[in-house]
């Protein structure tokens, strides 16, 4: 069977003509070529039209471009190899390197730069790629677009000869790697690829815009819901504040009423009047009564003893009124007292919570220097020890209900801005 290609004995590369083998020998210094009955593959990419000469070249093209459909036109391009060359007048032996020296003159034929697309070359150079590197990319890919050439440069940037200008035989130029399309077909193909890329870009932009719109709607709903919750919480806080104000106002009115009644009873006592106004006298004369003993002449005062809660409230009110100019420090004292009492409620068995050193600088700075601070703790059950150095509440005297009442009064004094004013 006639030879269909020349095969390099060193790297097993196949070539369609002596000129191609000559270019390979000049680039690689390989000089041993043999005639082969296997044709050079001609696998044409259906998508971009690039011809691939080997299965490895096809795999690399698929990896770079993701094009997987190829048309096998090897049979159409397979022709018997012609070993004669204008510079060679010897016989066509199978092993070229074994022929006489005159037959190997084709090895030193003139080598020139390959012809590539000037516009694409200029565009690659404007992107910062060196001329040899850009020329290699366009030559070895037969690229008709920038993306393929750039991908080739990225994949081969570590090659040792990446910045060397490629050379081909002067007689063949770049015929080995020219695309199998006419200029008109290449233009049509390039136009189709551009349109496809433009449509793909438009679809991607539309998809991204839809995603952005969905994200804007989602964020808007979240902000609206957060604003609604914040307004609801603000309304609840306002209702609690107003309720506390009304409770404080009611307690103030009740206290004023009780004070008026006590003052009225005290005035009647000083004037020697009975606790209540006497009823209208009957028309019949009343029988004479024996004078009452001295101890029975004391008038009865209808004054009920103040409860613990009222005593605590009065203590806190007096403390705040006595230090009107130190509102922030008074509030800090109330919070410190609330902490002491809360610790006892939460852990009544902890002795460290039931014992307060009166000489402690922190206690004196926050509570002790205010008149009424120690008194409130005593109302809660704390007692001074024998040396007067500590306030201690025995475990058996811990009254959770009393301590919770004190916590409630302290909390009211802290949150109510009108506490102690009325």
Render pLDDT for 223-257 as a digit per residue (tens, 0 to 9): 999 999 999 999 999 999 899 989 999 999 999 99
List the domain range (segments joined by +) for residue 347: 308-415
Which pLDDT score, from 0 to 100, does residue 235 have? 92
CATH of the domain at 131: 1.10.8.10
Which of these ranges, 88-97, 271-280, 306-315, 393-402, has the smallest mean pLDDT? 88-97
Question: Please, is 280 exposed, middle or buried when counting C-beta atoms within 10 Å of its C-beta (0-12, 13-18, 19+)?
Answer: exposed
Which pLDDT score, from 0 to 100, does residue 209 have? 92
User: Is the residue at 410 inside a domain?
Assistant: yes
Which pLDDT score, from 0 to 100, does residue 305 have? 55
Judge whether residue 285 has pLDDT over 70.
no
Yes or no: say if 55 and 41 are a contact pair by the CB < 8 Å rule.
yes
CATH of the domain at 338: 1.20.58.2190
User: Is the residue at 368 inside a domain?
Assistant: yes
- Give residue 174's pLDDT band: very low, low, confident or very high (50, 70, 90): very low
The tens digit of pLDDT for each residue in 50-88 reads 888 788 788 888 887 888 888 888 777 777 776 654 443
Q: Which run of H or of E encompasses 205?
A: helix 183-270
Which pLDDT score, from 0 to 100, does residue 37 have? 79
Number of domains in the chain: 2
38: Cβ–Cβ under 8 A, 6 or more apart, which residues?
A: 4, 5, 7, 14
Yes or no: say if 61 and 52 are a contact pair by the CB < 8 Å rule.
yes
91/84: higher pLDDT:
84
Judge whether residue 178 has pLDDT over 50.
no
Percentage of the residues of the chain whose pLDDT score is greater than 90: 16
Which pLDDT score, from 0 to 100, does residue 121 have? 86
Q: What are phi and psi of 45, to 5 degrees?
A: -65, 125
Q: Which residue, among 163, 162, 134, has the nearest Cα to 148 in the 3D structure?
A: 134
User: Is the residue at 246 inside a domain?
Assistant: no
Q: Could you say which of 102, 137, 164 is where a domain stops?
A: 164
Which pLDDT score, from 0 to 100, does residue 182 have? 66
- Give residue 103's pLDDT band: very low, low, confident or very high (50, 70, 90): very low
The stretch 42-57 carries a mean pLDDT of 83
Question: 16-33: b or e for each residue (b if 16 or more CB lie within 10 Å)?
Answer: bbbbbbbbbbbeeebeeb
Which pLDDT score, from 0 to 100, does residue 169 have? 61
User: Is the residue at 28 inside a domain?
Assistant: no
* CA angle (199 as vertex; 196, 200 as ends), nearest 5: 85
Tokens 């230090």 locate to 323
User: Is the residue at 19 inside a domain?
Assistant: no
Q: Select the highest-mean-pLDDT range: 169-173, 296-300, 380-384.
A: 380-384
The stretch 28-46 carries a mean pLDDT of 81
Yes or no: say if 114 and 131 are a contact pair by the CB < 8 Å rule.
no
The stretch 340-354 carries a mean pLDDT of 89
User: Is the residue at 367 inside a domain?
Assistant: yes
């Amino acid at each position: 069977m006639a030879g269909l290609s020349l095969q390099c004995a060193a790297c097993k590369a196949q070539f369609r003509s002596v000129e191609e083998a000559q270019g390979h020998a000049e680039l690689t210094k390989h000089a041993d070529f043999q005639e082969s009955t296997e044709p050079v593959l001609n696998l044409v990419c259906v998508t971009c039209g690039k011809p691939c000469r080997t299965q490895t070249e096809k795999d690399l093209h698929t990896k770079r471009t993701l094009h997987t459909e190829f048309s096998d036109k090897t049979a159409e391009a397979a022709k018997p190899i012609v070993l004669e060359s204008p510079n060679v007048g010897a016989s066509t032996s199978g092993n070229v390197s074994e022929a006489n020296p005159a037959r190997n003159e084709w090895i030193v034929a003139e080598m020139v730069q390959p012809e590539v697309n000037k516009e694409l070359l200029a565009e690659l150079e404007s992107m910062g790629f060196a001329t040899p590197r850009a020329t290699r990319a366009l030559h070895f890919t037969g690229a008709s677009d920038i993306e393929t050439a750039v991908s080739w440069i990225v994949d081969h940037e570590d090659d040792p000869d990446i910045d060397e200008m490629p050379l081909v035989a002067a007689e063949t130029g770049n015929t080995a790697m020219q695309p199998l399309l006419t200029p008109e077909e290449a233009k049509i193909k390039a136009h189709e690829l551009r349109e496809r890329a433009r449509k793909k870009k438009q679809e991607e932009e539309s998809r991204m815009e839809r995603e952005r719109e969905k994200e804007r709607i989602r964020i808007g709903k979240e902000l609206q819901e957060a604003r609604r919750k914040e307004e609801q919480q603000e309304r609840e806080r306002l209702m609690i504040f107003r309720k506390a104000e009304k409770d404080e106002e009611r307690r103030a009115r009740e206290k004023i009423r009780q004070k008026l009644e006590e003052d009225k009873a005290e005035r009647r006592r000083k004037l020697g009047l009975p606790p209540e106004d006497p009823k209208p006298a009957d028309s019949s004369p009343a029988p004479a009564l024996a004078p009452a003993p001295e101890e029975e002449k004391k008038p009865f005062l209808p004054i009920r003893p103040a409860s613990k809660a009222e005593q605590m409230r009065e203590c806190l009110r007096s403390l705040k009124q006595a230090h009107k100019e130190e509102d922030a420090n008074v509030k800090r004292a109330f919070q410190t007292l609330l902490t002491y009492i809360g610790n006892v409620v939460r852990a009544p068995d902890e002795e460290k919570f039931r014992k307060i050193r009166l000489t402690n600088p922190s206690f004196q700075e926050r509570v002790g220097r205010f008149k009424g601070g120690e008194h409130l703790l005593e109302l809660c059950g704390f007692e001074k020890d024998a040396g007067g150095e500590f306030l201690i509440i025995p475990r058996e005297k811990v009254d959770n209900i009393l301590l919770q009442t004190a916590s409630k009064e302290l909390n009211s004094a802290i949150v109510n801005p009108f506490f102690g004013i009325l």
